[in-house]
Structure 1
Amino acid sequence: MSTITTEELSATTLLRFATAGSVDDGKSTLVGRLLHDSKSVLTDQLEAVERASASRGQEAPDLALLTDGLRAEREQGITIDVAYRYFATPRRRFILADTPGHVQYTRNMVTGASTAELTVILVDARNGVVEQTRRHAAIAALLRVPHVVLAVNKMDLVGYEEKVFAAIAEEFTAYATELGVPEVTAIPISALVGDNVVDPSSHMDWYGGPTVLEHLETVPVSHDLSHCHARLPVQYVIRPQSADHPDYRGYAGQIAAGSFRVGEQVTVLPSGRSTKISGIDLLGEPVDVAWTTQSVTLLLEDDIDISRGDLIVPSKDAPPTTQDIEATVCHVADAPLTVGHRVLLKHGTRTVKAIVKDIPSRLTLDDLSLHPHPGQLVANDIGRVKIRTAEPLPVDSYADSRRTGSFILIDPNDGTTLTAGMVGESFAAPEPVKDESEDDGWDF
């Protein structure tokens, strides 16, 4: 197994990507093949897979077992939970999320793709584009994943026919374009055999594009969020901890976007109080500037009442605060989401009470039409909702920030995640609907 030096790793970029597709399309096999052929599997891991495969009567190692780690997954031969894997090549480092294909576990695909810069959507060449393919494409579009790879798998079972691949690629690309997906790269593969996964296929000389790994290594990604709206959700208030610093009070959190610097005028939301940054601590050391993804502690000139859940932003670039949120959501719970549903809304580090005031529409995946006023959303539905919160929240549009433009709805009774929401996102603008709901007695 080849090794990569620390110097090589420090010079490479990081790509977060997720796999998605219907049951038995071969996602776990693709990931296993990717790890195996890129020599990213340790010897003892491969030996364990070989033993497990032999015990099931298989002659060749089942590479899907490299990611299907739960006992139920191995017994059923399906992926249930999101399996995260970390590997690297001399050209790039990777964090991949192998997500379930079964419709019951679509919620996990939302989890896996929420931080991805690229999504690999697999299609069985024998079946073509199916409903779950369209659902995964819609979720990728909703989550604004900038790059989508269509991997047409099991080409060996259709005789490596170019026309089969071309028809599937054309249908999927047209559908994804309607959804607003900015880029689709179609690649014909056989994950079981290894065609076009890491090494080019000798069976498909009609294809002149990149292999899956080559595309993953070369697709342009940018982690430069310094131009975005600067946002720091407060996670923890650090109070005086020693006699040497009796007046120390810092506000700690991970910068969601943008950058902060000492001397900058900032506003604390939702209170709207303003002050200046007097200092920034990073890993216990003072710095003049800090930027996206760094976990820092901000020190402020004035003594302002700040607690977990507040948002610190530049005064010149503060988002509006509102109690009325309209968003597109993917409902992930088994219990339906209904008009009048009382929920908890978690936005950043803040959780508030809320009520679902209206469900204007539900997306029909077949033709991307909107079904008006469905009354409820059931598991895996994508639709528009209007929500009223008990307290004002500073929210960005999801188009501006994937971090501060997103939220989840939680069942207040048992803590179950109900819905993942994207503020302001919409496939089409439904006509305005007059609110004829009666006063429900809530005082917000």
Structure 2
Amino acid sequence: MKIKTICAVLGVSLLYPGMAQADIVQRLVVTSMAGEPDSEGGDVFTIAGTTACGGKQIRMDARSMNLDEAPYEALKVQLAERMRARTPMLVTVKQCPDDASVPIVREIAACTPADCADGRARLYLHERFYPIEREQAPNVLLLPLPKDKLPGTWKVEIYSVAGRKLRLSGHVNRADYAQGELVGGYVTYYPDGKIEKQVAQDGQGRQDGFTSLYRADGSLESRGNWRHGLPVGTHQQYHATGKLREASVYREGQRVDGPVQTFDANGKLSTSYVLRDGRMEGELLAYFPDGKVSNRTQVSKGKFNGSTTDYYPDGAVRASMTQRNDLPVGEALEFYPDGKVQSRQQYGDGGGLLSVRRYSPQGVLVLERRWDARLREQGTSRSWYENGKPEHAIDYVNDRRDGWSRSWRDDGSLKSECRYVAGKAQGDCGEAPPAPELQRKEQAWRAL
């Protein structure tokens, strides 16, 4: 599990700059210090026994310990006293070097009973099991790794720092966990001890055999067979209810073309479509629980291209629009259950909303807004009461209030008005905020 490899195996796709930093913490007895600094100006110390990295030396300097020169020299004086008394110390090295060089010490401190009780070295690990600094680590691995029954492998058992619960069990092909790769299969566990994932592997670390994923409640989430790193046969995904969500068939690592169906948590048909060259093609259908169609969408080469229509449970059209490469274009309509238009929305070629008009169930226009090609609100945004009388009118230029902002009562009388220039209120308005009703209405507009 070279860091890059284990992240790929366990589903982590993004590495941050500090992720390669490891902390190996070990009880050591420092016996002597070299008379002269090494070629890089560092102090080299000899220890009794061996480090977790396999040698009998450690190296440190003021920079590695994050100290100024004076505190570092004082630390060496204290360490000399410990060496004479052969007092065990708790030593943290940054990582085991890839080559045969001496590991660099990041911290050295007095032993505590909790840290030094068993004398084992500890490698601290991220939630997804790659090495990180001790302070940030939820998991820990005891070193050195014991030899496993499978020739050329070492046994790995990773535990949570807090609860001492097993989080991963498996095998690596190197004695150095951080430089090895998981081989022969592994199991990961949730913090409460339930199985999260079971992965079968071959001796080269490729998925080979069945892989099963489980939810935190113990229910099966997915299961499928692999051969030499490629999916084969039928792979199933399940709802937490235990009902099948989807079954996908693979041949030679590729998903087999043909009809596909998905099901809801109660086992009812949810969607149906056709795969061609591994992508959706034709018509994607979604269904209500009673089997009636709730949506029809035209698909080409895996993208929405063509008409999309949503339906009410009784079959009446709820909404319709056209899409091009997954983006809305032209006019999109929403309807009330009786067929009256609820809204008209106009989209540009790039999928941006250019205008919206909304209507009451009685057909009265209640909202009107416009944007330019750069998605900035322009012109006068208006709303009306359902009796047709004006409610608000706000002038915009380039997405800022510019001009008059007015609101009226439902009897048609003026309630408030204020003139803005480049987003700032003018004259008697001062900087006072608009009426709460107007503010709420504008927020509602912008949420559309």
Structure number with the higher helix fraction is 1
Bigger CA radius of gyration? 2
Structure number with the higher strand fraction is 2
With normalisation by structure 2, the TM-score equals 0.20
With normalisation by structure 1, the TM-score equals 0.20
Q: Which has the higher contact order (CA 8 A, sep 6+)?
A: 1
